[in-house]
Amino acid sequence: MPKHAFRNVMATSFALVGTFALSLTGGTAHASTSLDYVALGDSYSAGSGVLPVDLTNLLCLRSTANYPHVIAARTDARLKDVTCGAAQTKDFTESQYPGVPPQTNALGADTDLVTLTIGGNDNGTFINALTACGTAGVLSGGKGSPCKDKYGTSFTDQIDANTYPALKAALRTVRAKAPNARVAVLGYPWITPAEADPSCFAKLPVAAGDVPYVRGIQAHLNAVVERAGEETGATYVDFSQVSEGHDACKPGGTRWIEPLLFGSSLVPVHPNALGERRMAEHTMSVLGLS
């Protein structure tokens, strides 16, 4: 047999063997199955306050134990983590800090998976509501609903008027930058219980009548996040059921969110390490990632 003919036969044989081997693994080589994963979002995605801190960018107070890192480790994904504490929707397309590029710059046509939490910092929703209601709670000695009485629907009105359209615009930018990616937008796990817990006032000084009011603000934000996700083709990861009973009023080892006072995290009212792991696990479950 001529040498060139022999080489052709061998090349064909190796190709057939390779095809057979791929068929045994579902038609895809293991080396090519790793997801190109980009994590976007605010401090709930960055894991701000959870140790160890990512030393590559201290401004963003990002943890290497945040839920994106947990997902990447368990799925063998190639992670590009650009999450940043205090991020707002505008920081998807603008520089949040000097030297910190817009988050969506990390996306591309080769991105397979995107996860994010965003919206809680727009209008200062979380910080303003908790500060206002915490102050009102202290002044009232924990009685009544002074925060609700003073602010009424102002927080939810701002969410509807400003956060909702900003969320849609941000998610559309994500889709445009990563047209082939599966996008998962996560809701925020519960910060407060459904009803006041008198033993929690020292840790989360919100008046008894304002506890459901604060929770209602968070529920409204999550509903808007879900709606914006659905309208832009993203998968919404709902924590309303799985985070029930793991709010900031629960004891250590049970709570996913640290309280405002006397917590164990560097950043109060944010997920702890357990919360970040549970966020990762529920997201993987919703997305069908193994």
pLDDT tens-digit readout, 161-175: 999 999 999 999 999
pLDDT of residue 266: 86
Same structural domain, 156 and 88: yes
Residues 6+ apart with CB under 8 A from 241: none
Read off the pTM. 0.88
Residue 4: give the domain boundaries. 1-32
Q: Tell me which of 243, 270, 282, 285 is the catalytic residue.
A: 270
> Does 30 qualify as catalytic in the annotation?
no
Same structural domain, 38 and 28: no
The closest of 155, 226, 222, 225 to 190, measured between CA atoms, is: 222
pLDDT of residue 29: 34
Same structural domain, 12 and 100: no
pLDDT tens-digit readout, 207-227: 999 999 999 999 999 999 999
Same structural domain, 118 and 184: yes
Q: Tell me which of 43, 45, 48, 265 is the catalytic residue.
A: 43
Same structural domain, 27 and 170: no
Q: Span 150-162, mean pLDDT?
A: 98
If one counts the domains in the chain, the total is: 2
Q: In what order do the strands lie in the sheet with 235-237?
A: 78-81, 36-39, 113-116, 182-186, 235-237
pLDDT tens-digit readout, 70-95: 999 999 999 999 999 999 999 999 99
Q: What is the CATH number of the domain that holds 233?
A: 3.40.50.1110
> Does 270 qualify as catalytic in the annotation?
yes
pLDDT of residue 239: 98
